[in-house]
Amino acid sequence: MKKGLLFVFAVLVFAACKKDNDPAPADLATAIAGNYALNSFFSVTEGDSINFPTLPTTIQGTTISGTISATKRTSNFVDLLLTVKELGTLPLDSVEVRQSGNTYELYLYDLSLGTVEGNTMNFNVSDIDPDTNEPFIIRFQAKK
- Which tens digits make up the pLDDT trace of 72-123? 999 999 999 999 998 899 999 999 999 999 999 999 999 999 999 999 999 9
| Domain-located, residue 25 | no
- The whole domain housing 133 covers 34-143
Q: How far apart are CA 10 and CA 6, in angstroms?
A: 6
Q: How confident is the model at residue 140 (pLDDT cuts 50, 70, 90)?
A: very high
In total, how many domains does the chain have?
1
**Cis status of the peptide bond prior to 56, with omega within 30 of 0:** yes
pTM attached to this predicted model = 0.78
Under DSSP, the state recorded for 144 is -
As a whole number of angstroms, the distance between CA 72 and CA 85 comes to 23
Asked if pLDDT for residue 52 goes beyond 90, the answer is: yes
In a domain, 86, yes or no: yes
Domain contains 120 = yes
pLDDT at 24: 52
Q: Domain containing 71 — which CATH number?
A: 2.40.128
